[in-house]
Amino acid sequence: MSHGRAWRKSSYSGGQGDTACVEVSLAQDALVRDSKATRSDALVFTIQAWRAFVASVA
pLDDT of residue 31: 95
In the chain, the N- to C-terminal Cα span, in Å, equals 28
What are the pLDDT digits (tens) for 8-17? 987 766 666 6
Which one has a higher pLDDT value, 38 or 19? Answer: 38
Q: Please determine, for residue 19, whether its predicted confidence score (pLDDT) is greater than 90.
A: no
pLDDT at position 18: 61
In the chain, helix, strand, coil percent, each to 5? 20, 30, 50
Q: What is the pLDDT of residue 3?
A: 66
* Long-range contacts from 10-13, C-beta under 8 angstroms, 24+ separation: 10/35
For the entire predicted model, the pTM comes to 0.75
- For residues 21-28, average pLDDT: 90
